Amino acid sequence: MREPLQAKTLRAAVLTIAALALCAPIAAGLWHSAGAAMGHLPALGKAGPSIGPLTELLAKPGFATALRLTLVTGFAATILSLVLGVALAAAITQGPARIISRLLAPFLAMPHAAMAVGLAFVLAPSGWVARTLAPILGWARPPDLATVNDAFGAALILGLVVKETPFLLLVILAALTQIPLRAQINAAQSLGYGLGAIWAKVIVPQLWPLIRLPVYVVLIYNLSVIDMALILGPSNPPTAAVLIARMYSSPDLAQILPASAGAILLGLCAAASIAALSGGARAFARVGPVWVRRGWRGGGRGGGRGGGLNTLIAAVAMLGAGLLLLGAGSMLSLGLWSLAWRWPWPMLLPESLSFTAWAGALQDFGPALQNTATIALASTAISLAMAVAWLETQFKSRHEALIYLPLLIPQISFLFGMNTLLLQLGAQGSIGAVIWAHVLFVFPYMMIALTGPWRALDPRFGQAAASLGAGRLRQLCAVKLPMLLTPICAAVAIGVAVSVAQYLPTLFLGAGRIGTLTTEAVTLASSSDRRITGVVTSLQAVLPFAAYLLAFIIPKLAHRNRSALQGATG
Amino acid sequence: MKRLIAAAAFAASLATPAFADWQATLDAARGQTVYWNAWGGDARTNDFIAWTSTQLEAAYGIKIAQVKLTDTAEAVSRVVSEKAAGQDAGGSVDMIWINGPNFLAMKEQGLLHGPFVADLPNSKYLDLSPTSPNSVDFTTPVEGLESPWRLAKFVFTYDSARVAAPPTSMGDMAAWAAANPGRLTHPNPSDFMGATFLKQALIELAPDAAALQAPVTDAAFETATAPLWAWYDSLRPNLWRGGAAFPENQSVQDQLLNDGEIDVSVSFDPASAAAGIAQGLLPETTRVFVPKGGSLGNVSFVAIPFNAAHIEGAKVVANFLLDPATQAHMQNIEVLGSYSVLDPAKLNDAAKAAFAALPSAPALPKLEDLGPTLAEPHATWMTRLAEEWAKRYTN
């Protein structure tokens, strides 16, 4: 089919914008960071190249341990979240999956730092679990046990899993709509396969290419997370990302050099980790067919060998459900803290209640709330327009890696350098700069949410419209957008949630002047007053909650007389 | 004759109507918004800064926007990035709450505006003699590059309901921890308060405390810290979590005290126990103790970066912070409870009465209970101590 000139122009324009707005600044940021990593920082009168910063970094006490901690917690959390996500998907697609996926909204809306603060309270030696056990075990004082900030990073892994499993589960449920799941399960079951075997042999191999990218994103996030690692992770040494952030904020300015070396090293580790994960998946793909050919069906019902995998799926799904309950408990505890005045050990509920924290917050955080809403709505609107333009131009998938770049490189690796670039342009500290920085991260997440449903839409709808004389724009506005309203609303909700949660980009590019609820929350988390943290995080969750609620209601109202669209998409 | 002319010129410069200069500053400052970069982890300080803004807006048409930092070094590195980018005017940081190593770093890199302190009319209430804590910041000469605003003194807080007799000295802490294992800790020394805990012990245990006033050398460090590490090695196994984990900062440690996980916390503000009780953050029975030999003290300053966009506004804020009425308001335990930096001998009767009339609280220590104030070691010691601690005790 000959391509019309108009489409070519659009494609060139979209690609140019993506390259200029998304990739160039990240490349420049990496370039500046790499320069500092090589000992080149004219502001401090340092000229490179030199390997001094790297050797200084490697000589930092505990750096090797920190790096090992980063890799162990990052991989463990990613793989656990993935396994739990698949098992939960397998379990709930048997039942009312749509209702359960709605319950995930609070987990997605809750910022990482807030979840960590709540979880730390539940798990700590003086926390809810210990307070429940105290009367039974006769503890007068909290036990001196490292149930959070443990040296192995177990609490950090747990926190990441509680936060990432719902995200992956949602991604998996969305991807499953592109696979004829019901038909394949029915066919395989009629051939005597058990549910566990069907998922392992039939579904997961089809699923992996669809969810690979989000899994990489989760892996990179886990490897470079700072706020959660500060609250739940080991402290001496902490993970590599925290160590690097500490160096960046050291009063000794020369520490920027080894910090940059660390930032670049972390970036390289992230790249190697993605390679390792995709290599592992490829190895599975090699071995898998042999296993499939051996013909084990895991029927289970008649006894035999297969029951094990079914039981395993059920057990893992139960474990996942338990972790989600733990997350729900964390959110509940923060809500309670926001209303508490005094809540000492060993009381299960606050000793006294007060609205002081709320009253203070409503007057203190008004501007922050306004900034948060403005930035979230603007960056989501821009990202949505870009996503629709991108999807309509139908790029090859090799181009697609471009837009996910901001999510596949640790933030700390390029933000310092990007900051320098913006200062040279004189654009730092404006709300525009912050909105643009948010678009860097909101756009790819919205693409993750929209790509599947967009590609899954039957192209014959568009062709039918074209045969009736509709141009491209009219096809888009009159046919595609209304039919895709459900996933678009879901993507907007995700976009708002992602924007609201951004911390480092807001801080760096806003020069600290653009205060959002998240920058307030992280600053206050350093003061660790759980009552104010409870208030700010409740406020923080309000916007994404509202977005998720609207994403649920709007399609319902718009499609109230379109029964095939109620549940067919999304 | 020449000397006479010089003397006359000097006298004339004194007679220059400073008042007129200040009026020019006030005029230029009107309508400015001062971006004050200040650690934002303390809600009462944030409230005090907001109060300052409303006062200044009413009196001089100046607003303060507090840029809340999690660490003062954030503001320093912001100024560094601006310098790196060649932005020599119109910078984003107008004023920083600063002292110690951050001040030293900015002074050495030539990142500060000034000297300006002598231009402030209210500096007449300050003791600015060369050895005064207002003139030397962690032994680094201030040279008018930063203006004092509140006093800090290192104290311990403890829950008197659980602890009958807190340790009386740093040396005593090892024995106390052995008798109460897991009930004592200190913030991570990469944090300011954690490093201060080590400095407090160093001053008490070092063979010659005077050596700490000079910049650190390898030999001096070796000699001065040998007893410190011996003491710490005996203390550490009995710390909270066996000395393998440390709270990230003071407020996290306060929370542990409130949760009952430990019995002792640290603070750089003698009023913080009373303030914490008033806020519901600490048990009602929290009290303050100070090692019997006294404790470290220093002054918190505000400094203006060389490229600040609103230099005049920042000066008016710095001057307002030194107003006796402002300082009395700040020292009020119901407001901030931070001790004043003004020299009582230089105050007039009305100002003295304002200070005398301030309310008291059971957890608020009397000035005489706080013991002598020990001088901060040279700033290089703190960095070196934190580094050496990390080398020795990081797994």
Contact call for A523 and B92, based on CB within 8 A: no
- How many domains does the structure of chain A reveal? 1
Q: Which of B103, B190, B239, B393 to mutate to test the interface with A (most CBs of A within 10 A)?
A: B190
Reported pTM = 0.82
Asked if B217 and B118 sit in the same domain, the reply is no
State the DSSP H helix or E strand holding residue A484, giving kind and residue range, or none if neither: none
Q: Using one digit for the tens of pLDDT, what is the confidence trace for B89-142?
A: 999 999 999 988 899 999 999 999 989 999 999 999 999 988 888 998 988 899
- Give DSSP secondary structure letters for B327-363: HHHHH-TTTT-PPP-S-GGGS-HHHHHHHHT----TT
Is residue B331 a part of any domain in this protein? Answer: yes
Asked if B43 and B121 sit in the same domain, the reply is yes
- Distance from the Cα of A61 to chain B's closest Cα (Å) equals 5
CATH number for the domain spanning A131: value is: 1.10.3720.10
- How many domains does the structure of chain B reveal? 2
Is residue A362 a part of any domain in this protein? Answer: no
Helix, strand or coil, per DSSP, at residue A22? helix
- Distance from the Cα of B246 to chain A's closest Cα (Å) equals 7
- Give DSSP secondary structure letters for A57-86: HHTSTTHHHHHHHHHHHHHHHHHHHHHHHH
Q: Are strands B286-289 and B155-159 parallel, antiparallel or unpaired?
A: antiparallel
Token pair of B99 as six digits: 């002292």
- Distance from the Cα of B99 to chain A's closest Cα (Å) equals 11
Is residue B171 a part of any domain in this protein? Answer: yes
* Residue A470: C-alpha distances to residues A390, A475, B327 (Å): 20, 6, 74
Asked if B113 and B215 sit in the same domain, the reply is no
pLDDT at position A525: 62
Asked if B268 and B322 sit in the same domain, the reply is no
Full residue range of the structural domain in which residue B229 is found: 155-297+371-393
Token pair of A84 as six digits: 């739990």
The tens place of each residue's pLDDT in chain A, 570 residues long, gives: 445 566 677 777 777 877 787 888 888 889 988 998 999 887 777 887 889 999 999 999 999 999 999 999 999 999 999 999 999 998 888 776 667 777 787 888 787 888 888 999 999 999 999 999 998 988 888 988 888 889 899 999 999 999 999 989 988 987 887 788 888 988 988 888 888 888 888 899 999 988 998 999 999 999 999 888 988 999 889 999 999 988 887 777 788 899 999 999 999 999 999 999 999 999 988 888 888 777 777 655 444 445 566 788 888 888 988 999 999 999 999 899 999 988 888 889 998 888 888 887 777 788 888 999 999 999 999 999 989 988 887 666 667 777 888 888 998 888 877 877 777 776 667 888 899 889 989 999 898 888 878 887 888 888 888 888 888 888 888 888 888 888 899 899 889 988 988 888 888 788 777 888 888 877 776 566 788 888 888 888 788 888 888 888 888 888 887 766 665 433
Contact call for A253 and B92, based on CB within 8 A: no
Asked if B359 and B379 sit in the same domain, the reply is no
CATH number for the domain spanning B165: value is: 3.40.190.10
Taking CA–CA distances from B82, the nearest residue in chain A reads A423
- Partners of B281 on chain A (C-beta within 8 Å) are 529
- Distance from the Cα of B136 to chain A's closest Cα (Å) equals 18
Asked if B237 and B383 sit in the same domain, the reply is yes
Closest CA to A237 of A68, A117, A410: A68
- Give DSSP secondary structure letters for B254-286: HHHHHHTS-SEEEES-TTHHHHHHHTTSS-TTE
Q: Which of A338, A528, A533 to mutate to test the interface with B (most CBs of B within 10 A)?
A: A528
Contact call for B259 and A530, based on CB within 8 A: no
Is residue B1 a part of any domain in this protein? Answer: no
Is residue B310 a part of any domain in this protein? Answer: yes
Is residue B4 a part of any domain in this protein? Answer: no
Percent of chain B whose predicted confidence (pLDDT) is above 90: 60
Full residue range of the structural domain in which residue A292 is found: 64-356
Is residue B114 a part of any domain in this protein? Answer: yes
Q: How many CB pairs below 8 Å do chains A and B form together?
A: 169
Is residue A499 a part of any domain in this protein? Answer: no
Beta strands in chain B (DSSP E): 33-39, 63-69, 95-98, 136-137, 140-141, 146-153, 155-159, 264-267, 286-289, 295-303, 373-374
Is residue B3 a part of any domain in this protein? Answer: no
Asked if B31 and B95 sit in the same domain, the reply is yes
Asked if B268 and B389 sit in the same domain, the reply is yes
Confidence tier at B4 by pLDDT (50, 70, 90):
very low
Residue B36 in contact with partner chain A when CB distance is under 8 A: no
Is residue A485 a part of any domain in this protein? Answer: no
- Of residues B41, B109, B395, nearest to A62 (C-beta): B395
Contact call for A528 and B260, based on CB within 8 A: no
B223 vs B217: CA distance, rounded Å: 10
Of B4-18, B268-282, B361-375, which has the strongest mean pLDDT?
A: B268-282
In this predicted structure, the answer to whether residue B2 has a pLDDT above a threshold of 80 is: no
Contact call for B251 and A125, based on CB within 8 A: no
- Partners of B67 on chain A (C-beta within 8 Å) are 511-513
- Distance from the Cα of B259 to chain A's closest Cα (Å) equals 5
pLDDT at position A240: 95
- Evaluate whether A557 touches A486 at the Cβ level (below 8 Å): no
Is residue A516 a part of any domain in this protein? Answer: no
What is the residue-averaged pLDDT of chain A?
84
